[in-house]
C-alpha cells in the first residue's frame, strides 16, 4: 500500500521564458530527500515533485539559484482553495492607479515616490493615501476613463487564475487600498465575484481631494478575509491571498496560501510563498492545477 507524499515541491517559470526543463527538475530532485514522482503541469513552465517530510525550501532555492524559476513546498492535501482575495495595483494590474491619475495632474513623480514608500512599509498607508488624494483635487472625473483605456494593463495570467478558481467553486474578491472607480471595472474585466476599495469624494464632475473614511488599508484587507471565510464556513487552510505591498501583509499572513507576487522585499521575505518570476497562473500551479485545467472565458 502506498501513501501520498505529505508535500510536493513546485517549480514555476514565466510562460514567456520557460525554464523548468529536465536539468532544473534534476537539480531540484538532487536536494529533495525522498523525491518521488514528477508531474508536469505545463511543459517547460511548471512541474511538481513528490517529496518527503524533510524537504528544505532553502536548499531547493539554492539548487536553482540563477535560474528564473520560482519554487515552493506545498502540502499535498487541501491544495485547491475555496476563497481567493487579491490586491489590485501592481498585482492584478501592472500599474498603481493613483500614480496614473497623478500624471494627469502633473504630479506623477511626487505621488509615485509616496506610493513606493507606503508599499515598502516605510510610512503609514492611511496618511500617505490622504496626502496623495489631496493632490488630485480639481482633476476631472473623466480622466478615469482615459487612465483605464490608455494606462491600465491586466497582469498576465490573472484572468485564467480567477476564472479557473471560480469554475472550481471558489469565491473571489478583489480587495484594494485603491479606489472603487477602478476596482469595479477591473473586477468586471477579470471576472471577480466582488470588489472592495476606497471611495473618492467628488465635487460635481471633479475630484474633491478627499477619500471617504474609514480608509480601507491593511487591517480592512485582513478583516475582509476573515469575514468572507466565516461567511462561507471555510477553514483558514482553504483560503488564498496575493499582494505585493506592505498593506497586504496581514491578509497574506492569515491566508492558508499567502503569496507575495513580484513583491516589495519586506513582503517577499514575510510571505509563506513568493512568486518573483512567474505570472499569475503560478497561483494555479501552487494549487495543483495543470495547464489543461485552466478556464479563460
Residues with catalytic roles:
87, 89
Quote the longest CA-to-CA distance of the chain. Answer: 71
Q: Count the neighbouring beta carbons within 10 Å of the beta carbon of residue 130.
A: 14
Cα–Cα distance measured from residue 243 to residue 137, given in angstroms and rounded to the nearest whole number: 28
Indicate the DSSP class of residue 91.
I
Phi/psi at 195 (5° precision)? -145, 155
Neighbouring residues of 154: CB distance < 8 A, sequence distance ≥ 6: 92, 93, 94, 186, 189, 190
Q: Which residues of 229-265 are buried (b: 16+ CB within 10 A; e: fewer)?
A: beeeebeeebbbbbbbbbbbbbbbebbbbbbbbbbbe
- What's the rounded Cα separation, in Å, for the pair 237 and 98? 33
* Grid cell in block for residue 67: 535560474
Amino acid at each position: 500500500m502506498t501513501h501520498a507524499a505529505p508535500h510536493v515541491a513546485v517549480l514555476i517559470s514565466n510562460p514567456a521564458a520557460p525554464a523548468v526543463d529536465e536539468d532544473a527538475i534534476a537539480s531540484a530532485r538532487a536536494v529533495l530527500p525522498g523525491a518521488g514522482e514528477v508531474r508536469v503541469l505545463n511543459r517547460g513552465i511548471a512541474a511538481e515533485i513528490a517529496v518527503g517530510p524533510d524537504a528544505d525550501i532553502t536548499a531547493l532555492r539554492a539548487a536553482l539559484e540563477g535560474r528564473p524559476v520560482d519554487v515552493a513546498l506545498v502540502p499535498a492535501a487541501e491544495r485547491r482553495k475555496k476563497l481567493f482575495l487579491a490586491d489590485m495595483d501592481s498585482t492584478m494590474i501592472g500599474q498603481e492607479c493613483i500614480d496614473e491619475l497623478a500624471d494627469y495632474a502633473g504630479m506623477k513623480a511626487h505621488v509615485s515616490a509616496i506610493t513606493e514608500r507606503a508599499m515598502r512599509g516605510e510610512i503609514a498607508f492611511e496618511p500617505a493615501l490622504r496626502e496623495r488624494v489631496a493632490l488630485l483635487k480639481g482633476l476631472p472625473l473623466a480622466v478615469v476613463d482615459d487612465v483605464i483605456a490608455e494606462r491600465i494593463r491586466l497582469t498576465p495570467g490573472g484572468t485564467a487564475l480567477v476564472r479557473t478558481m471560480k469554475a472550481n467553486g471558489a469565491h473571489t474578491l478583489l480587495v484594494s487600498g485603491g479606489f472603487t472607480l477602478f476596482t469595479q471595472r477591473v473586477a468586471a474585466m477579470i471576472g471577480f465575484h466582488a470588489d472592495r476599495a476606497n471611495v473618492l469624494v467628488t465635487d460635481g464632475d471633479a475630484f474633491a481631494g478627499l477619500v471617504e473614511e474609514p480608509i480601507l488599508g491593511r487591517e480592512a484587507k485582513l478583516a475582509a478575509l476573515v469575514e468572507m471565510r466565516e461567511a462561507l464556513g471555510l477553514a483558514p487552510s482553504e483560503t488564498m491571498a496575493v499582494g505585493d505591498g506592505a498593506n497586504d501583509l496581514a491578509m497574506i499572513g492569515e491566508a492558508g496560501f499567502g503569496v507575495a507576487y513580484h513583491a516589495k522585499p519586506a513582503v517577499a521575505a514575510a510571505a509563506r510563498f513568493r512568486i518573483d518570476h512567474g505570472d499569475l497562473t503560478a497561483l494555479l500551479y501552487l494549487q495543483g492545477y495543470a495547464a489543461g485545467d485552466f478556464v479563460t472565458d
